[in-house]
Structure 1
Amino acid sequence: MKEEDYPALYRSASKASADSQSAYLLMIRGQYALLFIAAVLSLWFGGDKQVYAAYAFTIAVSAVLLLYMSIMKPERDWYGARALAESIKTSTWRYMMKAEPFVDAPSIKTVRTTFRQFLKEILDANSHVRETVSKRPMNGDQITHTMDNIRRKPFLDRKAFYLRYRIQEQRNWYLGKAATNRKWFKIWIGLCIAIQSALVALALVRIYNDQLLSLWPMDPLMVLASALVGWIQIKKFNELASAYGLTAHEIGLIETSLKDVDDEAEFSEFVNEAERAFSREHTQWVARQNA
């Protein structure tokens, strides 16, 4: 499934989530950068008064940014828009697979009406991100041709499609994310240990020869080490690696039970069970971010 094959509302919500995430993480990085710059400026205290002015300005900007983030809470748009997008995505797959509540009806118009009503209810339930999503309108239908074409496929074709493009694709995504988060956790931990080791070395050198350097970069390195620790905590690399790995195994177990599905009724139940598992993981992800 390509991005344009999903409802326009899904693509708007997904774009809103990605933009909000980028903005939030940019502000976090900006906060760390300002504190690091202030620590560097402090090395020249006792000299030009302009250094004090630059230091005061940097700290003031950092404080304003922190106040803005505390009041506006930009991360809420990230989490909220992602929750909206995931809800639409799971409903889309239920529609395409003829799963409850989108099973066959005497008229396809009835099913399409039910799906549109579902989208409206999902949007109403996530009204706190309505403005954020509305700023990123997308062209296209809420029920795309691809969605209807897949829905019209025979049972066995839909079953194979769901296995390949939903279950296996989702499992591969989780496995990839688990590996990526594990890799970045090791990288950031390594950098943090390297900087702290440098701080220990500088402190020991200073004990024996305080005149070796005219400026000892202890404060900037300490701020940098603290920023790295904060970044690791914000990104939750290790926690997400474990959670994604566990979810990938859970999806693998779900995949094995698909072989025993023999008719539309069993398939509807299977799809709903699988989609609930995907939704449950996302709910846990939001809870981890808010923790």
Structure 2
Amino acid sequence: MLANKVNENFYPSIQRVVGRDSSFFQSVHFSLLFLNLSLLVVAAALSKFKFSYFDFRYNQTVLLVVGFVIIIYLGVKKPERSWYARRSLSETIKTLSWRYSCMSTPFGELERVDDDLFLERINESCVESDFVDGFRPSYVMSVTPTAEMIRVRKLSLDDRVNFYVTNRVQGQLRWYSSRAKRNRFFHWFVFSILCACSAMAVVLSFVNEVQSVNDMPTDVLIALSSSLMAWMQSRKYVELTAAYKLTAYEIESARSLVHSISTPSEFNQFVDEMENLFSREHTQWIAKRQV
């Protein structure tokens, strides 16, 4: 009886370590960016209103200094670069793991030969990542294929095909489809708030100019609108929605080829095409963020 999904022990432990690091640096990058934009909005509010719980001398200056420090940190330490490098390395290890399990190019020789090649390719990937982020290749010197990878490798052709399609292809299809929907939702959600803030800023500005009312929070709404625009640009909701929808469509189209597989060479070609498709997406993902 084949498992319905791949558990975390399918991949080598380094993949889980790198994946957690990628999520951590992603959280650091966006949390600091969100904090910086929020500080700008609060500073704008302090220039217009007084808050008893935050009423001390130089309060606005303190917020702007903290925001400035965050900008310096993001520019010098570049946590997004660590995020990009580790995500790319994590996806590369996944691809190598599946190629090894399915005995697809460049694997397909004796198990001992493929074991050595698997370690060599992971080491090469870590060295390449080291140029981007300082990742230490010494972490992976003892990496070997997991017991689950070896088990899948020894399955019959039909079982390997079924396992790969169920766990890898359909898993990737679900991931890209759900991420496309998620990014589309957040794009329209943030965009709606942006439009509302901008419209309110226009109305309040008009009222202020007509009636000479000076206590309108127009500056706060302008700062909030600018921050929302910067947040949308940093999250790349529209770009990611299009990219994920395209990849999901390509996976769906390529998945239909599985019905014509009857020989190991045909399966090898199928796996090679699918893994190249997955690799192309995350390679483009990295390239677009390093521009």
Equivalent of residue 121 in structure 2, options 114, 118, 128? 118
SS at the partner of 1:38?
Answer: helix
* AA at the equivalent of 1:280: R
| Structure-2 residue corresponding to 1:244 | 244
| Structure-2 residue corresponding to 1:15 | 20
Q: Which runs of 5+ in 2 are unaligned?
A: 1-5
| Structure-2 residue corresponding to 1:161 | 163
Equivalent of residue 69 in structure 1, options 62, 68, 74? 74
Deviation at 1:144, TM superposition (A): 1.3
Deviation at 1:83, TM superposition (A): 0.6
Equivalent of residue 42 in structure 1, options 23, 39, 47? 47
Count of residues paired in the alignment: 281
| Structure-2 residue corresponding to 1:197 | 199
SS at the partner of 1:85?
Answer: helix
| Structure-2 residue corresponding to 1:289 | 289
Cα distance 1:158–1:16, how it changes in 2: closer, same or farther (>3 A)? same
Deviation at 1:132, TM superposition (A): 5.5
**Contact in 1 for aligned 2:81/2:133 (Cα 8 Å):** no
Cα distance 1:66–1:124, how it changes in 2: closer, same or farther (>3 A)? same
SS at the partner of 2:58?
Answer: helix
Output the TM-score relative to the length of structure 2.
0.90
**Contact in 1 for aligned 2:197/2:221 (Cα 8 Å):** yes
Deviation at 1:104, TM superposition (A): 3.6
Distance (whole Å) between structure 2 residues aligned to residue 37 and residue 4 of structure 1? 46
Deviation at 1:247, TM superposition (A): 0.7
RMSD: 2.2
* AA at the equivalent of 2:259: K
* Pair 1:57 & 2:59 matched: no
Deviation at 1:264, TM superposition (A): 0.8
Distance (whole Å) between structure 1 residues aligned to residue 241 and residue 59 of structure 2? 41
| Structure-2 residue corresponding to 1:188 | 190
Deviation at 1:209, TM superposition (A): 3.1
CA deviations 1:192-214 (Å, max 9, x no partner) are: 00111111121222234334xx6
- After TM superposition, the structure 1 = structure 2 runs for residues 93-172 of structure 1, keeping only pairs within 5 Å, are 93-105=98-110, 108-128=111-131, 142-172=144-174
* AA at the equivalent of 1:169: G
Distance (whole Å) between structure 2 residues aligned to residue 26 and residue 20 of structure 1? 10
Output the TM-score relative to the length of structure 1.
0.90
Distance (whole Å) between structure 2 residues aligned to residue 133 and residue 244 of structure 1? 31
Identity %: 31
- After TM superposition, the structure 1 = structure 2 runs for residues 217-232 of structure 1, keeping only pairs within 5 Å, are 217-232=217-232
* AA at the equivalent of 1:269: Q
| Structure-2 residue corresponding to 1:216 | 216
| Structure-1 residue corresponding to 2:268 | 268
Q: Which runs of 5+ in 1 are unaligned?
A: none
CA deviations 1:264-289 (Å, max 9, x no partner) are: 11211221111011000111111222
**Contact in 2 for aligned 1:12/1:133 (Cα 8 Å):** no
Distance (whole Å) between structure 2 residues aligned to residue 206 and residue 110 of structure 1? 77
Deviation at 1:142, TM superposition (A): 3.7
Deviation at 1:129, TM superposition (A): 6.1
* AA at the equivalent of 2:203: A
CA deviations 1:32-83 (Å, max 9, x no partner) are: 01111211111159xxxx7551111211121121112112211100000001
